[in-house]
Structures are given as structure tokens and as C-alpha cells.
Amino acid sequence: MASNKPGPGQLLVDVQVTSIGAGQTINTVSGTTYTQGAGTTQMTPNSVNSTQPIPGTVWDALFIEVFPGVLNPGQNEPDLWMWPQIDNVDIHDNFYVDISISGNPFPCRDNTVGRDSLFLGASMLKDGVTGQLANIMAKGTRAPLLYTGWKVKKDLTLKFFSNAGFTTGSSGTFAVPPTIKIYGDVYDAKLLAYIQNVMGAYNGAIRLNSVRRQVLGLPPYSIVHDFTGPISLDTWGALPGGTAQGRVKVYRFFKVSQPLVNTSGTTIFALSDTVTQVGGKPGNVGTNNDLGFDFSSNNNALQVNEFGRIPGAGAGYCGFTHGGADVYPYETSTGLVCTPGDPRIPYGQVQPLRPESDLYYRVPRWGDWSPGETTPEVIANEAVAFFIAAQNGTTITGGTSTSVDRTIVGGAIIKAS
């Protein structure tokens, strides 16, 4: 486990998945090797031995690092999906990602192009020491969307699923199994009191808009994250990223989707099986892979910070749709051009685009496909689904293997109903 001494940037969780049965779900169990059916998870032998804060401390999980394993010669890469359970609350609705070798969105920073990284949230401790925390709270409109690390009071359990399944060993799938590390800040009551003092009053105001929405004349999205404070060991879970938030909840969002069925031509294929009014259909994607959002009759919203693609053979276009031919970005009548030969917003393993070994692209920020200024997108008071479309005369093959077209969306989701 992390140290009993409070401080920044500590290794909170270090676990391995050594085996998992085909179609099986398995989770970590703190402090032990856990075997269920054909699956086994364990604490990494030379590291922390627990996924639980010690009494009198809490965690702010801020950074994930995944070593996706080393295959034995001749073995095919299996799929592996991951999501968290925080203080016994499963949050797969907000975070469900593919951490396979080719699709891993959280590689070691030294193995990324430009040594760039993704974070679950900003460090309140670091920003408190530098004075940024008080400044951000004073200005308002964005603090709840910045400090979205997983607020852990009791336990951080990781869950895993694989369609293909795998084993580890000299005759298994992996020579070295997938390993997941989670880093963050450790707080005790004294350090939380310090944060409260330097922060001042908590400002939960959220006010969002995007270039697209402003061009269309849509009003800003406005709401208040109603944390009353003060920050303490008891109230920790009521902050963004926690499981005891009030009426308005804010979570870091990451979800990966892939089509389960084939799509041909330039037909818009919604990556949703629930938001049918914008083209979603049952069976389009897996239950936990839905990238459709119906905010037309509620006050929920999604700030899209990241958008990445691993385009499968035949892929031609992507974006999000309000249904029919209403797509965005407006680059073409079928959205953003994104093909295997010109992926524009690639993430995951670089090969075969570049020859370096074990090199990964960071998940691109929204707008990285253009040389213009990057800015987050905002989805609010509307129903949309992210989509893909094939090149004319070609087919994108659906399925559950790691060779299938994949799309990742990251950001901050606001749930007010």
C-alpha cells in the first residue's frame, strides 16, 4: 500500500492479471492473490501489497500506468478491459477502457511520443502549494472539472474482462503478464485541513461552451457542483471523482468502443446501442462500450477533452452525430477523415506507423486533427452519438478482437439527474 505518511505522487496500487478465462470478469482483492475460475489477479510481488488506504488516510488517484504484458513467441494479442470500483461503487458507466497491447491508452510516459501523459485529475496538493488552487477557486467556472481524481476512502478495486482470455507462463499467452499501477496523493486530516485553508471557499460553479455551440447560437451550459465542505476525511468522497457526491456529480470519463457488426460504404454507424434517436441500434456495440449520450431532456453534460482512433481496415470517417446526415466535425459531409493510412488522431501502439519498439501515442486532445487551437467540445441539452463510417466501397469489420476498429473518448461527465 502507499505510505502511512501523507504526500504527493505515491504508488497507490500495483497489480497484475496473470490469467483470465474467455468471457470472464475478475477483480483484484486487496493484499492477496485472488483466483476465481480460470482467472487470477495478484499484487505485484515487489511493490505495494494493498489497494486500501490505511486508517486515518485517504487517496486521490491521479495517474494510471499500464504495462500491457509481453507475449510468448507465436501468441496472438488478447483483449483486456478494465474499470474501477471505488469504495464498493462500480463506475463502469464513466470509465471502461481497453488496455490491450495495441490499444493501451495509459502506457509508461517514457514510451509515449513526446513523453506525454493522461491524468485522471489535477493534484489539489500540488496546486495548493503553488497557489494555483486558490486562484482557480477564486476565478470559478472550472474547478470541479479539474480535480476529478478518484477519491478513495476505503478501497480501490480494479475489475477486468476479456473476450479471448489468456494465461501466463512458458507455454501460456504471456511471458510477462499485464501490470497496472495507479499513482496519486495521500492525505491525512492535517494535510486536508491545510488544503482547505489554502483553497478558501470551494467554488463549484461550472460554465461551459464550445466553438461549435457558439457558432450555432447555443447558450453556455451552466450548473453548480454542490460540495459544501469543509474538506475532511469524512467529506472526501463528496468531491469530484468520489462516490458520495451530492445532487450534481462529476467524474473523469474514459470509454473505448468498437463495432460488433460490419458497416459498409459511407453509412453513419453510431457507436451506441441505446440512443436510438440518433442512429444507435441494439447490437451495435457492447453494453459497456456505448458512446451515445441523450442529454436532450436532462441537465447532464460531457466535456470532451480527448478523442482518439485506431481505425480498422476500410475506416474512412468519424465524429459525432445528432442523427442522419447531421455530423460534426464539418470537415466532410461524413465527418472527419480518419483512415488507416491517415489516422489523424491515433492512439495506442505506434507500429506499423513508426519502427520504434514499444512506442505509443498519447490519446489526442479534442481538435488535434487540425493545426488550429485545440479546445474541448461540450455536449449538453442534446442527444448525440459518436460514429464511424467506412470509405466508399469498403467495409469496417466488427467483432471483439484487438484487430477491430476502436474509438476512445475522454473528458469529464456531469450527472445532475
Q: What H or E segment, with its residue span, contains residue 410? A: strand 406-415
Cross-strand bridge partners of residue 186:
7, 59
Q: What H or E segment, with its residue span, contains residue 139? A: helix 132-139
pLDDT given at position 353:
64
* CA separation for the pair 358, 345 (Å, rounded): 19
Query: Rounded to the nearest 10 degrees, what angle do helices 189-199 and 132-139 cross at?
Result: 50
Give the cell for residue 307. 478523442
Q: How many CB atoms lie within 10 A of CB 89?
A: 12
CA-closest candidate to residue 395, choices 302, 284, 261:
261
Do residues 282 and 404 touch, judged by C-beta distance below 8 A?
A: no
3-state secondary structure of 297: coil
Q: Which residue in the block uniquely carries the three cell numbers 495548493?
A: 128
Per-domain boundaries in the chain: 7-188, 258-415
pLDDT given at position 114:
75
pLDDT given at position 112:
83
Cross-strand bridge partners of residue 350:
none
* CA separation for the pair 174, 168 (Å, rounded): 5
For 197, phi then psi, to 5°, come to: -65, -45
Give the cell for residue 68. 500491457
Residue-wise burial string across 137-170, b where 16 or more C-beta atoms lie within 10 A, e elsewhere:
beeeebbbbbbbbbbbbbbbbbbbbbbbbbbbee
Give the cell for residue 41. 489477479
* CA separation for the pair 147, 241 (Å, rounded): 8
DSSP 166-196: B-BSTTSSEEE--EEEEEEEEEEHHHHHHHH
* CA separation for the pair 367, 374 (Å, rounded): 5
Cross-strand bridge partners of residue 318:
336, 388
Give the cell for residue 315. 475506416
Helices and strands (DSSP H and E) totals, the chain: 5, 29
Q: How many CB atoms lie within 10 A of CB 369?
A: 20
CA-closest candidate to residue 346, choices 357, 354, 338:
338
146 CB-side CA count, 13 A: 21
Per-residue confidence of the chain (417 residues) as pLDDT tens digits?
A: 555 689 999 999 999 999 999 999 999 999 999 999 999 999 998 777 899 999 999 999 999 999 999 999 999 999 999 999 999 999 999 999 999 999 999 998 888 887 777 899 999 999 999 999 999 999 887 899 999 999 999 999 999 999 999 999 999 999 999 999 999 999 999 999 999 999 999 999 999 999 999 999 999 999 999 998 899 999 999 999 999 999 999 999 999 999 999 999 889 999 999 999 999 999 999 999 999 999 999 999 999 999 999 999 999 999 999 998 899 999 999 999 999 989 999 999 987 666 667 789 899 999 999 988 778 999 999 999 999 999 999 999 999 999 999 999 999 999 997
pLDDT given at position 275:
97
Q: What is the largest CA-CA distance in the chain?
A: 64
Q: How many residues does the chain have?
A: 417
pLDDT given at position 46:
77
End-to-end Cα, the chain, rounded Å: 36
Alpha helices in 85-131 (DSSP H): 124-130
Do residues 407 and 317 touch, judged by C-beta distance below 8 A?
A: no
* DSSP label at residue 392: T
* CA separation for the pair 180, 158 (Å, rounded): 9
pLDDT given at position 2:
58
Q: How many CB atoms lie within 10 A of CB 24?
A: 16
pLDDT given at position 355:
65
Residue 356's Cβ-count burial label (10 Å; 0-12, 13-18, 19+) is exposed
